[in-house]
């Protein structure tokens, strides 16, 4: 792979990750709306547990999205450094 192919591949990866980041922002918004709704209506214990589980799943999703971004950046830098060490400019 040459430098342009590597940069193009990771640019597409960053676009996909940006879409996941927007999804994460929407899920955070939904989670806070659910928390506000359940507090205003004095929800029962089951509803509180379900909202908590949804919030934890949202946090885990965000953790995965940002860890994929970090891993993608590390892979890109590794591939570019390998390309440089093989004599490409």
Band (5; pLDDT cuts 50, 70, 90):
very high
Average pLDDT, stretch 51-73? 96
**Domain count for the chain:** 1
pLDDT at position 1? 79
The per-residue pLDDT of the chain, averaged, comes to: 94
pLDDT at position 18? 95
- Torsion over CA: 79, 81, 86, 89 (sign): positive
Domain that holds residue 31: 3-85
Band (66; pLDDT cuts 50, 70, 90):
very high
């Amino acid at each position: 792979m040459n430098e342009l192919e590597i940069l193009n591949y990771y640019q597409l990866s960053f676009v996909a990750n940006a879409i996941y980041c927007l999804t994460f922002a929407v899920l955070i918004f939904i989670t806070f709306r659910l928390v506000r709704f359940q507090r205003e209506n004095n929800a029962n214990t089951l509803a509180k547990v379900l909202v908590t589980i949804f919030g934890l799943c949202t946090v885990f999703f965000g953790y995965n999205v940002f860890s994929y971004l970090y891993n993608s950046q590390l892979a890109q830098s590794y591939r570019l450094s390998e390309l440089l060490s093989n004599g490409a400019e």
